[in-house]
Structures are given as structure tokens and as C-alpha cells.
Amino acid sequence: MRPVAAPETQPPRAELKAAVELYLALHRAPELSGAEHSTAALLTDRLTALGLTVHPGLAGTPSFLAELRNGPGPTVLLRTELDALPVTEATGLPYASAVPGVMHACGHDLHAAAATGAAARLAATRA
């Protein structure tokens, strides 16, 4: 197993900003279960740009697996869901759902953004 660089106490501002922007984008464009094609494309593009190997379309769905290899040794698994719910958003927030009758009322948008941010940090500190 190769060593991992010493962690920083806080992620660089650019990484944090990217994670927040991803969250806002995901929240604005929710997709129902089994139809998360744009969501999956956005996330796989981001993860590929970070240097991860992406395996799309698992079991004929928008699901995917993204790998960040760092040699033999312990493995870390980050898992997130992508789907939104058939709920009308009435928050009035500037980043509210732009899809009538569909919103991320369950936090999957935040989970996906956080997992992608964690992947960015792992990729940046890979030895």
C-alpha cells in the first residue's frame, strides 16, 4: 500500500466551492428514480475529470461505479443515491427545483455532492 499525503485541516476553497456548486446544480435539476441520466452524466463527468475510472450503466440503469486506485491495501467505499422525490418544492430558494413536481426532499443531492467532494479530496491527496 502506498502512503497517503498528510491530510489538511480544511479542504482548499476551490474544492469546497466546487462541492457547493455541484449541490446547487443537483438540487435545481432533480430526477426521479431510474431516470437520473443527467444527474449521472454530471457526476461521472466530474469524477472522470478528477482522475477516477468510471463504469457507467450498471444493470442497465443510470447507476455507475467510480474507482480511484492507490495500490494494494485497504479500500474505501463511498456510496450515494441520486434520485429525487415526486414532491413539489415550495421553498422559494434561489436554487429551488426547476422541475415541476420533483425535488430533492431527501438529501440525495447533498449526499452526492459530499461524496464527489470526498472523491476530489482523496484524488488530490493520492500518493
Task: Output the pLDDT for position 74.
Answer: 83
- Contacts (Cβ under 8 Å, ≥6 apart) of 112: 22, 26, 39, 43, 80, 81, 82
pTM of the model as a whole: 0.87
Cβ(39)–Cβ(29) below 8 Å:
yes
CA distance 66 to 119: 9
Using DSSP's 3-state secondary structure scheme, residue 50 falls into coil
- What count of other Cβ atoms lies within 10 Å of the Cβ of residue 62? 21
All residue ranges of the chain with pLDDT < 70 are 1-11, 127
Task: Output the pLDDT for position 10.
Answer: 66
Task: Output the pLDDT for position 6.
Answer: 60
